[in-house]
Structure 1
Amino acid sequence: MGNGSGTVTGNTRARFEQWAKNPACRANTLSAVHNVPMADVARRLGSRPSFGQSVFALTRGNNFERQILADEADRLLAALVRKDVLPEGAKGLADLRVRMNGGQLPSLPEAIARTNALIRELAGQADSRSAPRPAIIASPTVRIPRGVMLPEAVLILDVLAVRYDRGRPELMVGEIKTYADRGGHTDLHKLAVARAQAGLYLHALELVLAELGCGERVRLRRKGFLVLTRPGSNFPSVRAEEDLHYQAERARRGFELLEAAARGLPPFMPVDDDPVEAVMRADTEYSEACLRFCDRESQCHAAALEEGNPAVLGDDVRRFLGEVDLGRAVVLLDGGDPRTGGEKDLLRRLQRAGAAGPTP
């Protein structure tokens, strides 16, 4: 479900994915690092935001999570045991959800403190004799121990499964989605997005375990699981043994690049204490990807079209034309003389492709 979208400052996963879709755009980087929603920028520019989850989708997701976690997570436990994510006889739920997500904890700081305390208990660093060891941890919340984003980088994971029958306690990352598991016909893009989110959580846990000094006492499994729905029902269907190694590596590298990008930004000086205005004034870099995630894409697309930016025809066209704008490309296609080295190179490539006649 991606519970990281449950709060403003806790929306780290969505902000990371936002930046990763177009890291070349300075405005997009400012928006992600400083948590200035691009939807607010779009409204200021006179557009209606068109991205984000619907109320229906959020409600359905919350209902699904509530049902599979009810009665000490009986439904989810049974599904995880069937797929050998957990062993027979596994039981116990540690519910770390905050109230706004259907739980009992009052705040994110409390959820973070409880998550850290539970990890230390699993690692044997605290007395846990009075509390049973849980097989499922719902909504563990972590603060990433590095200056990736401001004001803070917090992630609310969907679920962790914990095994105790392999020596050290073993944590496995799970991602909950409400779409149906259709076996080999499940949407591949949706599955890729879910794995990417789980990989981000895996990397975040790696950082937190290292910071808490628990990495040698708690094993973090590189294979996780996805929890989807059975077609036509709200019962869980588990996809086990999802390899998250490359997704975690993507997250690690992405955080390093984002951190470098944040350090390279000029000091963030909100215009008259107006951070939206600061993002509005930042340079933009239009990309084909903007059509799929950015609420500001209509203004940027119009500006790119006026400039003759080849990106309006897609990133492949932009890469092919290089420094040549659309207007000059049309002139060359019509037999015009090249003016620059870049235009000469483009004309040669166009001629090889049979798209332009010989140079006059």
Structure 2
Amino acid sequence: MTTSSVADRLAELRGPVPSRHHDARTLAALTANPGCTRRAVLDAAGVDKRALAERIGFGPRFGQSPFAISRGNAFERLVKSDGGAALLALLRDELGLRPAQDDQGPDQPVDGAGPADPGLIDLSRGDREERYRRTRDLVVAAARDPQAAPLLADHPLLRLEVGGRAAYVEPDLVALRARGRDGSQRWRWYLAEIKSFAVIDGHADPMKVAEAATQAAVYVLAFQRLLAGLGLPDDLVATDVVLICPKDFGNAPCATLIDVRRQLAAVRRQLERLPRIGALLDGLEPDLSFDLSADAAGRPSRSAAQLGEAVAAVRARYAPECISRCDMAFYCRDEARVTGSTDLLGRAVRDALGGLGTMRDVLALSERAACASPGGYDSADSGCDGGDVGDVGDGDLAEAARLLNAARRARREALAQAGVSAAGNGGTGKHGASA
């Protein structure tokens, strides 16, 4: 497909409703599950996945509370107050970063910015192309003369190619031009991520920190791509990201540097693995549509049943962690349960099963493996008639059969110690605990 035909097809899939744009959160979730065609298509088309899930009866049961959103916005305003003076104090005092203007002395304002005005520039206004152009111009100016550029860029807009299409991402608060505390004389851009979860006695929720690090890695990669497009070294972007959170039980901000090199490598690798969206669209039915629009009387253009059929027509790859990452997760989980998919067991178990797609296949292999191995079944629950039960195969299937036999033996031994018969346990019958 050409670029224009891809855009037209995605618009047809979405229908006459506003497009939902990618952000760092959706990109982080997409790269965590690159094999899911359903999410890739819905995100590329800009479909409101939450609204779609609600229409087909599987609305997500999670979401950020209004209180948490208000608290986050209030904390961001606090950090940005007085032109970012509080943030600069944190960076100097707690992290040892040296902004460019520090080298000029306290009495030498830069481009109208003095000690009381550290040079916070607002990039949040305008359409996406205008904001991206202003961000790019700011980076070019800073590359030419770090001391003449504003210290802080408020809500810069960056761009990444995702599946062959441009996606825009917006760092939470700022991009900062400074020297690190490692003694290096080289200027770098430091990206700052503001989060409203608290750091108590120097510790924060590790899951929330990990999520913030992955989102920040998306921003770092987008900034690196921007620099590369300008002919600048991409290592001008620091891979240490400034994480700013409330300290203890108050609202006073604290800052720390987090190393996102591991997350950056993972995001880069997964984005490269994402299939081109044009190739995915070629495999869809021509009349497929996720149109959520309604007429003047409020009647939806497509019924819940029609939308459900459209969703089912696009292949998904469910994983238990999708529950916390994707609005479509409850639909996909129910679909996996109905079909008996091994996706329900998680990626690690699914991959260990040698590519078997359903629990029926797993149980069949388990039976063949047990009958083919000495002592596979107890005489009381054998089910083996001594005939040909089929070859368990070789390679991945042989390894899966070995693991299933080991799981069966472990279960039988545990039940024996508990004084419970494997045959009369009322679990999964003669197949026992399959894996």
Q: Which of the five TM-score ranges fits, normalised by the shorter chain? A: 0.7 to 0.9
**Shift of residue 9, structure 1, vs aligned partner:** 5.0
Q: Does 1:93 align with 2:93?
A: no
Q: Which residue of 1 aligns with 2:337?
A: 305
- Residue 116 of structure 1 deviates from its aligned partner by 1.1
Structure with higher RCO (Cα < 8 A, 6+ apart): 1
CA positional deviation for 1:69: 0.6
| CA–CA distance in structure 1, aligned partners of residues 86 and 403 of structure 2 | 60
Looking at structure 1, the residues matched to 49 and 69 of structure 2 have their Cα atoms a distance apart, in angstroms, of 20
Correspondence for 1:236 among 236, 242, 253: 253
- Structure 2 unmatched ranges of 5 or more: 1-17, 107-114, 293-306, 368-376, 413-421, 423-429, 431-435
Paired letter, 2:406: R
Shift of 1:314: 3.7
Distance in 2 between residues matched to 1:270 and 1:46, nearest whole Å: 25
Which residue number in structure 2 is paired with residue 220 of structure 1? Answer: 237
- 1:162 counterpart residue number: 177
Closer/same/farther in 2, CA of residues 138 and 335 from structure 1, 3 Å limit: farther
Give the superposition deviation at 1:97. Answer: 4.4
Residue of structure 1 aligned with 2:406, choices 337, 345, 352: 352
Change (3 A) 1:119 1:347: closer
Structure 1, 168-177 or 196-205: larger mean CA deviation = 168-177
**1:313 shift after superposition:** 4.0
* Cα distance in 2 for residues equivalent to 1:215 and 1:9: 32
> CA separation in 1, counterparts of 2:139 and 2:212?
24
2:316 is matched with 284
Worse-superposed segment, 23-32 or 225-234: 23-32
Q: TM-score, structure 2 length as denominator?
A: 0.67
The Cα offsets for residues 141-189 of structure 1, whole Å up to 9 and x where unpaired, read as 1123x46464x31011122221269655421122111111125532111
Query: Structure 2 matches for 1:33-52, cutoff 5 A?
Result: 33-52=44-63
Which stretch has the larger CA shift, 25-34 or 190-199?
Answer: 25-34
Cα distance change of structure 1 residues 92 and 344 upon mapping to structure 2, 3 Å threshold = closer
- 1:329 paired with 2:380, answer no
Flag the 1:197–1:37 CA change in 2: closer, same or farther, 3 A. Answer: same
* Shift of residue 321, structure 1, vs aligned partner: 4.1
TM-score using structure 1 length: 0.80
2:134 maps to 114
Structure 1 residues 10 and 303: CA distance shift in structure 2, 3 A: closer
Matches within 5 A, 1:1-360: 10-83=21-94, 84-87=96-99, 92-98=118-124, 105-124=125-144, 133-144=149-160, 146=161, 148=163, 150=165, 152-158=166-172, 159-163=174-178, 169-183=187-201, 185-215=203-233, 219-240=236-257, 242-258=258-274, 260-267=275-282, 271=287, 274=290, 277=307, 278-322=310-354, 323=356, 325-327=358-360, 329=363, 332=367, 335-337=382-384, 338=389, 341=392, 348-353=402-407, 354=409, 355=411
Q: 2:30 touches 2:39 (CA, 8 Å); kept in 1?
A: yes
What CA deviation, in whole Å up to 9, does each residue of 1:281-339 have, x standing for no partner? 21222222222223333332223223222333444443444427435629838644555
Equivalent residue of 1:110, what SS? helix
Counterpart in the other structure of 2:370: none
State the shift of 1:237 in Å.
0.6
Once the 2 structures are TM-superposed, how far is the Cα of residue 250 of structure 1 from its aligned partner?
A: 1.8
The amino acid of 1:60's aligned partner reads R
Deviation larger for 132-141 or 339-348: 339-348
In terms of Rg, which structure is larger? 2
Aligned to 1:3: none
**Structure 1: gaps of 5 or more residues:** 1-6, 99-104
- Whether the aligned pair in 2 keeps the contact of 1:68 and 1:75 (CA below 8 Å) is yes
Change (3 A) 1:157 1:308: same
Q: Distance in 2 between matches of 1:214 and 1:283?
A: 40
User: Aligned letter for 1:189?
Assistant: M
CA distance in 2, matches of 1:324, 1:66: 50
Aligned pairs, how many? 337
Paired amino acid for 2:209: L
